[in-house]
Amino acid sequence: MAAQKISPPAIWTRNFIVISLVNLFVFFSFQMIFPVLPVYVKKLGGTDTLVGVVMGISTVSTVIVRPVTGLLLDNYGKKPVLMFFLSFTYGSIIGFLPLYAASEGVPGIGAFFTVFALTILVTRPLIGRLIDRSGLTVVLLPGFFCLLAGIFSLAEGTTLQEFLIIAFVYGLRFGSLQTTLQTMAVRDIPQCRLGAANATLYTGFDLGMGIGVIILGIIAQNWGYRVMYLFTMVPVVLSILYYVFWAKKHLHVPPGICPRAQDDTF
């Protein structure tokens, strides 16, 4: 008798849909505030340094709350370094792109964020399947190198059309990298520690963004936006080195094996 094929657990459960909708509305409000906040600070007479400080302070509460929330989730209900470096570059987009576009005389820069978000929305499910089938390195290393290309292009962009192409490239690689890093963080973690693992990962994200925008604001104030964007290539290079020479050696699960598949229901 042929062995019966075991179907993978369902993903689109009621709880998963509810959580996705909650996440949608949370980030909807987040993305409405942060792209316009630096412009508002500038309109009030603030400098680029002050813009960085304001954006950085806005992440302080999340840095404080996330670890506590993670512990509460574990009791009641690994890769933060890479996430820190990734969010460092993300802070330059959220914090300074509207100001950079205005300085270059590029109108309608809001379209950048639309293309960026749509690209992430479309490609993330595909990236998730690719990770399951081919492993993390297949996604992670090309993602880092494409991110470098996107940042360099952003520093040289002068027209809205160029910015929209960059938004697609940056959205494709940011979405894939963030998805991959979250997979790395939680796939080998016992179910009772998933809350702490996610909280630690996103604490790295918050710290990278909070510290990054402050440093980048100082750089933009003294050397301009182009130099600032070129500087954001440094943490990406550090991410590549960190992954190749340390994190990659600590990956224990071969591609195609999901050791916690039986726990993937809500």
Stated as kind and residue range, the H or E segment containing 202 is helix 194-223
pLDDT at 257 > cutoff 60: no
pLDDT tens by residue, 212-239:
888 888 998 899 989 998 998 898 888 8
Give me the sign of the Cα torsion angle 191, 192, 195, 201. negative
The reported pTM is: 0.73
Question: Does a structural domain hold residue 114?
Answer: yes
Q: Give SS3 for 245.
A: helix
Band of residue 62 on the pLDDT scale cut at 50, 70, 90: low
pLDDT at 198 > cutoff 80: no
Q: What mean pLDDT is reported for the chain?
A: 75
Given this model, what pLDDT does residue 260 score?
44
Band of residue 84 on the pLDDT scale cut at 50, 70, 90: confident
C-alpha torsion angle, residues 148, 55, 38, 26 (rounded to 10): 90
pLDDT at 132 > cutoff 60: yes
pLDDT at 254 > cutoff 60: no
Band of residue 186 on the pLDDT scale cut at 50, 70, 90: confident
Closest CA to 166 of 102, 93, 216: 93
Question: Does a structural domain hold residue 108?
Answer: yes
Q: Give me the domain span that covers residue 160.
A: 50-245
- CATH number for 124: 1.20.1250.20
Region of poorest pLDDT, from 5-14, 129-138, 146-155: 5-14
Q: What is the mean pLDDT of residues 140-161?
A: 86
CA distance 216 to 231: 8
pLDDT at 34 > cutoff 70: no
Amino acid identity for residue 108 in this structure: G
Q: Which residue has the higher pLDDT, 46 or 119?
A: 119
Question: Does a structural domain hold residue 162?
Answer: yes
Q: What is the mean pLDDT of residues 235-255?
A: 73
Q: Which residue has the higher pLDDT, 242 or 37?
A: 242
Query: 109, 160 in Cβ contact below 8 A?
Result: yes
Band of residue 256 on the pLDDT scale cut at 50, 70, 90: very low
| C-beta neighbour count of 31 within 10 angstroms | 14
Question: Does a structural domain hold residue 26?
Answer: no
Given this model, what pLDDT does residue 222 score?
92
CA distance 95 to 36: 9
Question: Does a structural domain hold residue 25?
Answer: no
Question: Does a structural domain hold residue 193?
Answer: yes
Q: Which residue has the higher pLDDT, 12 or 45?
A: 45
Given this model, what pLDDT does residue 223 score?
92
Range from 72-81, 85-94, 113-122 that averages highest in pLDDT = 113-122
Question: Does a structural domain hold residue 210?
Answer: yes
Total count of domains within the chain: 1
pLDDT tens by residue, 169-183:
888 888 888 888 888
User: What percent of the chain shows pLDDT beyond 90?
Assistant: 5
Question: Does a structural domain hold residue 107?
Answer: yes
Query: 217, 50 in Cβ contact below 8 A?
Result: yes
pLDDT at 108 > cutoff 80: yes
Q: What is the mean pLDDT of residues 105-109?
A: 88
Given this model, what pLDDT does residue 45 score?
82
